[in-house]
Amino acid sequence: MQRTSPSKTKKRSRSLGKTFVRVSCFAVLAIGMAAFVGIAKNAPSLAADTRIAVGLDSWHPTGQAALYDRARYLLDRAELASLRWQNERLSLQLAIQGIEAAPGDAYAWNTAAIAAAASGYDDFARTAAARSRELAPNSSRAALQRLVIADIELNEASDETRDGVRHDLELANADEGNSLKAILQNSPPTADALRTLGIYEPFANLGG
Q: What is the pLDDT of residues 15-47, one digit of tens each?
A: 544 444 444 444 344 443 333 344 444 566 556
What burial letters (b/e) apply to 76-110, b meaning 16+ CB within 10 Å? bbbbbbbeeeebbebbbbbbbbbbebbeebbbbbb
Q: Pick from 138, 204, 149, 150: which is nearest to 177 by CA?
A: 204
pTM: 0.70
C-alpha span between 68 and 46 (Å, rounded): 8
pLDDT tens-digit readout, 134-191: 999 999 999 999 999 999 999 878 999 999 999 999 999 999 999 999 988 998 989 9
Q: Report which DSSP code applies to 47.
A: S
Q: Report which DSSP code applies to 58.
A: -
What residues contact 114, with CB distance under 8 A and at least 6 apart?
A: 82, 125, 145, 148, 149
Specify the pLDDT at position 132: 97
